[in-house]
Amino acid sequence: MGLGAFAPNRSTLPPRLHEIRLSAVMPVYNEEKMVERAVRAVREVPLNIELVVVNDGSVDGTAAVLDRLAADGLIDRLLHQPKNMGKGAAIRRGIQEASGDVIVIQDADLEYDATEYPVLLEPILLDKADVVYGSRFQAGPRRVLYFWHSVGNRFLTLVSNMFTDLNLSDMETCYKMARADLLKALPLTSARFGIEVELTARLAQAGARIWEVPITYSGRTYAEGKKINWKDGMAAFWHIIRFNLLSRPRIPWSAA
Protein backbone atom coordinates (compact mmCIF):
# COMPACT_ATOMS: atom_id res chain seq x y z
CA MET A 1 0.00 0.00 0.00
CA GLY A 2 1.41 3.38 -0.92
CA LEU A 3 1.18 6.44 1.24
CA GLY A 4 -0.70 8.51 -1.31
CA ALA A 5 -2.11 11.87 -0.28
CA PHE A 6 -2.77 12.13 3.44
CA ALA A 7 -6.08 13.59 4.55
CA PRO A 8 -7.86 13.59 7.93
CA ASN A 9 -10.80 11.62 6.51
CA ARG A 10 -8.68 8.88 4.91
CA SER A 11 -10.54 5.59 5.34
CA THR A 12 -8.11 2.96 3.98
CA LEU A 13 -5.65 2.09 6.72
CA PRO A 14 -3.01 -0.63 7.15
CA PRO A 15 -4.32 -3.94 8.57
CA ARG A 16 -1.91 -3.72 11.55
CA LEU A 17 -3.66 -0.60 12.85
CA HIS A 18 -5.51 -2.37 15.65
CA GLU A 19 -2.50 -4.50 16.63
CA ILE A 20 -0.56 -1.42 17.75
CA ARG A 21 -0.86 -0.14 21.30
CA LEU A 22 -0.82 3.64 21.19
CA SER A 23 0.03 5.64 24.31
CA ALA A 24 -1.49 9.13 24.36
CA VAL A 25 0.44 11.33 26.82
CA MET A 26 -1.68 14.24 28.01
CA PRO A 27 -0.01 17.00 30.08
CA VAL A 28 -2.64 19.00 31.96
CA TYR A 29 -2.46 22.30 33.82
CA ASN A 30 -5.55 24.18 35.04
CA GLU A 31 -7.98 22.69 32.51
CA GLU A 32 -10.90 22.01 34.84
CA LYS A 33 -13.47 23.04 32.20
CA MET A 34 -11.93 21.24 29.22
CA VAL A 35 -10.08 18.15 30.42
CA GLU A 36 -13.06 15.79 30.69
CA ARG A 37 -14.04 16.54 27.09
CA ALA A 38 -10.43 15.97 26.02
CA VAL A 39 -10.22 12.63 27.84
CA ARG A 40 -13.53 11.44 26.40
CA ALA A 41 -12.46 12.54 22.91
CA VAL A 42 -9.38 10.31 23.13
CA ARG A 43 -11.46 7.44 24.47
CA GLU A 44 -13.84 7.67 21.50
CA VAL A 45 -11.04 6.90 19.03
CA PRO A 46 -11.47 3.24 17.95
CA LEU A 47 -7.86 2.20 18.59
CA ASN A 48 -6.01 0.31 21.31
CA ILE A 49 -5.09 3.39 23.35
CA GLU A 50 -3.36 3.73 26.69
CA LEU A 51 -4.16 7.18 28.08
CA VAL A 52 -1.44 8.56 30.35
CA VAL A 53 -2.42 11.86 32.00
CA VAL A 54 0.06 14.01 33.91
CA ASN A 55 -1.51 16.68 36.10
CA ASP A 56 1.15 19.37 36.29
CA GLY A 57 0.32 20.78 39.72
CA SER A 58 -3.03 22.32 38.73
CA VAL A 59 -4.45 24.73 41.30
CA ASP A 60 -8.06 24.75 40.09
CA GLY A 61 -10.40 21.75 40.18
CA THR A 62 -8.52 19.77 37.52
CA ALA A 63 -7.10 17.19 39.94
CA ALA A 64 -10.56 16.25 41.26
CA VAL A 65 -11.94 15.88 37.72
CA LEU A 66 -9.03 13.66 36.74
CA ASP A 67 -9.35 11.51 39.87
CA ARG A 68 -13.01 10.90 39.01
CA LEU A 69 -12.22 10.03 35.39
CA ALA A 70 -9.49 7.63 36.51
CA ALA A 71 -11.88 5.98 38.97
CA ASP A 72 -14.36 5.56 36.10
CA GLY A 73 -11.69 3.79 34.05
CA LEU A 74 -11.30 6.50 31.42
CA ILE A 75 -7.64 7.16 32.31
CA ASP A 76 -5.20 4.27 32.37
CA ARG A 77 -2.39 6.04 34.23
CA LEU A 78 -2.92 9.25 36.20
CA LEU A 79 0.18 10.98 37.53
CA HIS A 80 0.07 14.05 39.78
CA GLN A 81 3.15 16.27 39.77
CA PRO A 82 3.86 17.63 43.30
CA LYS A 83 3.88 21.19 41.91
CA ASN A 84 3.74 23.00 38.58
CA MET A 85 6.93 21.85 36.85
CA GLY A 86 6.10 22.77 33.25
CA LYS A 87 4.76 21.11 30.12
CA GLY A 88 8.14 19.66 29.22
CA ALA A 89 8.54 18.00 32.61
CA ALA A 90 5.03 16.55 32.34
CA ILE A 91 5.68 15.20 28.85
CA ARG A 92 9.01 13.67 29.89
CA ARG A 93 7.37 11.87 32.79
CA GLY A 94 4.51 10.69 30.59
CA ILE A 95 6.90 9.31 27.98
CA GLN A 96 8.81 7.31 30.58
CA GLU A 97 5.60 5.95 32.14
CA ALA A 98 3.96 5.02 28.81
CA SER A 99 3.91 1.32 27.87
CA GLY A 100 2.64 1.46 24.27
CA ASP A 101 4.47 0.69 21.03
CA VAL A 102 3.92 4.23 19.76
CA ILE A 103 3.50 7.48 21.73
CA VAL A 104 1.64 10.65 20.79
CA ILE A 105 1.48 13.93 22.69
CA GLN A 106 -2.09 15.15 23.23
CA ASP A 107 -2.86 18.56 24.72
CA ALA A 108 -5.88 18.81 27.00
CA ASP A 109 -7.39 21.91 25.40
CA LEU A 110 -9.14 20.34 22.37
CA GLU A 111 -7.12 22.41 19.88
CA TYR A 112 -6.07 19.12 18.26
CA ASP A 113 -8.45 16.40 17.05
CA ALA A 114 -7.75 12.91 18.38
CA THR A 115 -9.75 11.32 15.54
CA GLU A 116 -6.70 12.00 13.37
CA TYR A 117 -4.51 9.48 15.23
CA PRO A 118 -4.92 6.89 12.41
CA VAL A 119 -3.60 9.40 9.87
CA LEU A 120 -0.55 10.07 12.05
CA LEU A 121 -0.02 6.34 12.61
CA GLU A 122 -0.07 5.30 8.97
CA PRO A 123 3.52 6.26 7.97
CA ILE A 124 4.84 4.46 11.07
CA LEU A 125 2.81 1.32 10.37
CA LEU A 126 4.02 1.32 6.76
CA ASP A 127 7.60 1.58 8.05
CA LYS A 128 8.08 4.86 6.23
CA ALA A 129 8.69 6.87 9.40
CA ASP A 130 9.89 6.65 12.99
CA VAL A 131 8.10 9.87 13.91
CA VAL A 132 5.23 11.83 12.38
CA TYR A 133 4.46 15.52 12.87
CA GLY A 134 0.91 16.79 12.41
CA SER A 135 1.30 20.08 10.57
CA ARG A 136 -1.13 22.96 11.11
CA PHE A 137 0.32 24.76 8.10
CA GLN A 138 -0.31 22.25 5.35
CA ALA A 139 -3.73 21.60 3.80
CA GLY A 140 -5.77 20.81 6.92
CA PRO A 141 -8.73 22.99 8.00
CA ARG A 142 -7.98 25.36 10.87
CA ARG A 143 -9.64 28.07 12.89
CA VAL A 144 -8.54 31.55 11.79
CA LEU A 145 -6.83 33.34 14.66
CA TYR A 146 -3.69 35.35 15.40
CA PHE A 147 -1.53 36.52 12.49
CA TRP A 148 1.57 37.16 14.59
CA HIS A 149 1.36 33.73 16.23
CA SER A 150 1.45 32.22 12.76
CA VAL A 151 4.42 34.39 11.80
CA GLY A 152 6.23 33.47 15.02
CA ASN A 153 5.65 29.75 14.55
CA ARG A 154 6.86 29.84 10.95
CA PHE A 155 9.93 31.87 11.92
CA LEU A 156 10.88 29.46 14.71
CA THR A 157 10.36 26.53 12.37
CA LEU A 158 12.61 28.19 9.77
CA VAL A 159 15.41 28.80 12.28
CA SER A 160 15.09 25.27 13.68
CA ASN A 161 15.24 23.84 10.15
CA MET A 162 18.43 25.78 9.47
CA PHE A 163 20.16 23.96 12.35
CA THR A 164 18.56 20.51 11.97
CA ASP A 165 18.64 20.48 8.14
CA LEU A 166 15.00 19.36 8.12
CA ASN A 167 12.26 20.87 5.97
CA LEU A 168 9.44 20.82 8.52
CA SER A 169 6.52 23.19 8.08
CA ASP A 170 5.44 23.15 11.77
CA MET A 171 8.13 22.42 14.34
CA GLU A 172 6.00 23.72 17.23
CA THR A 173 3.03 21.42 16.65
CA CYS A 174 1.77 19.48 19.65
CA TYR A 175 1.04 16.43 17.49
CA LYS A 176 4.30 14.54 17.47
CA MET A 177 3.80 10.78 17.24
CA ALA A 178 6.80 8.46 17.45
CA ARG A 179 7.98 4.95 18.13
CA ALA A 180 8.17 4.51 21.90
CA ASP A 181 11.69 3.08 21.86
CA LEU A 182 12.87 6.19 20.03
CA LEU A 183 11.23 8.70 22.38
CA LYS A 184 12.42 6.84 25.47
CA ALA A 185 16.01 6.93 24.15
CA LEU A 186 16.08 10.71 23.76
CA PRO A 187 17.93 12.54 26.57
CA LEU A 188 15.23 15.17 27.11
CA THR A 189 15.72 17.86 29.76
CA SER A 190 13.27 20.69 28.96
CA ALA A 191 10.90 21.64 31.74
CA ARG A 192 8.57 23.97 29.87
CA PHE A 193 7.61 24.88 26.29
CA GLY A 194 11.17 24.34 25.09
CA ILE A 195 10.25 20.66 24.83
CA GLU A 196 9.00 21.14 21.24
CA VAL A 197 12.38 22.52 20.14
CA GLU A 198 14.31 19.90 22.07
CA LEU A 199 12.27 17.02 20.68
CA THR A 200 12.92 18.18 17.13
CA ALA A 201 16.64 18.71 17.71
CA ARG A 202 17.10 15.31 19.36
CA LEU A 203 15.06 13.49 16.72
CA ALA A 204 17.22 15.04 14.01
CA GLN A 205 20.40 14.15 15.91
CA ALA A 206 19.16 10.56 16.29
CA GLY A 207 18.72 10.28 12.54
CA ALA A 208 15.01 9.49 12.87
CA ARG A 209 12.89 9.25 9.76
CA ILE A 210 10.39 12.10 10.05
CA TRP A 211 7.16 12.60 8.10
CA GLU A 212 4.56 15.34 8.20
CA VAL A 213 0.83 15.02 7.58
CA PRO A 214 -1.77 17.80 7.50
CA ILE A 215 -4.10 18.05 10.49
CA THR A 216 -7.05 20.17 11.49
CA TYR A 217 -6.47 22.78 14.16
CA SER A 218 -8.93 24.69 16.33
CA GLY A 219 -6.77 27.12 18.29
CA ARG A 220 -8.02 28.87 21.38
CA THR A 221 -8.07 32.58 22.12
CA TYR A 222 -6.51 33.95 25.30
CA ALA A 223 -10.01 34.50 26.66
CA GLU A 224 -10.64 30.79 26.12
CA GLY A 225 -7.52 29.79 28.05
CA LYS A 226 -4.57 29.88 25.66
CA LYS A 227 -1.37 29.92 27.72
CA ILE A 228 1.61 30.38 25.38
CA ASN A 229 2.76 33.96 24.70
CA TRP A 230 5.56 36.02 23.12
CA LYS A 231 7.92 35.28 26.01
CA ASP A 232 7.69 31.59 25.21
CA GLY A 233 8.55 32.44 21.60
CA MET A 234 11.68 34.28 22.70
CA ALA A 235 12.63 31.36 24.92
CA ALA A 236 12.10 28.95 22.01
CA PHE A 237 14.62 30.90 19.91
CA TRP A 238 17.23 30.46 22.66
CA HIS A 239 16.37 26.76 22.96
CA ILE A 240 17.02 26.29 19.23
CA ILE A 241 20.57 27.58 19.74
CA ARG A 242 20.99 25.62 22.96
CA PHE A 243 19.83 22.19 21.79
CA ASN A 244 21.38 22.33 18.33
CA LEU A 245 24.73 23.99 19.03
CA LEU A 246 25.53 23.94 22.74
CA SER A 247 24.19 20.51 23.65
CA ARG A 248 24.54 17.51 21.34
CA PRO A 249 24.56 14.34 23.49
CA ARG A 250 25.12 10.89 22.08
CA ILE A 251 21.76 9.21 21.49
CA PRO A 252 21.89 5.39 21.85
CA TRP A 253 19.22 4.57 19.28
CA SER A 254 19.09 3.36 15.70
CA ALA A 255 16.24 2.28 13.48
CA ALA A 256 15.78 -1.49 13.48
Ordered domains of the chain (ranges, CATH): 19-246 (3.90.550.10)
Q: Report the DSSP beta bridge partners of residue 154.
A: none
pLDDT band at 222 (very low <50, low <70, confident <90, very high): very low
Arithmetic mean of pLDDT over the chain: 86
pLDDT digits (tens, 9 = 90+) for 125-145: 999 999 999 998 876 555 544
d(CA 222, CA 161): 28
pLDDT digits (tens, 9 = 90+) for 150-209: 777 788 899 999 999 999 999 999 899 999 999 999 999 998 878 999 999 999 999 999
Cβ contact 235:193 at 8 Å? yes
- For residue 113, give the nearest of 136, 85, 92, 91 by alpha carbon: 136
Range name among 61-70, 195-204, 232-241 with the lowest pLDDT average? 232-241
Cβ contact 199:223 at 8 Å? no
Range name among 8-12, 46-50, 192-196, 206-210 with the lowest pLDDT average? 8-12
Cβ contact 251:187 at 8 Å? yes
d(CA 75, CA 55): 12
- Asked if residue 120 has pLDDT above 70, the reply is yes
121: exposed, middle or buried (C-beta count within 10 Å: 0-12, 13-18, 19+)? buried
d(CA 234, CA 245): 17
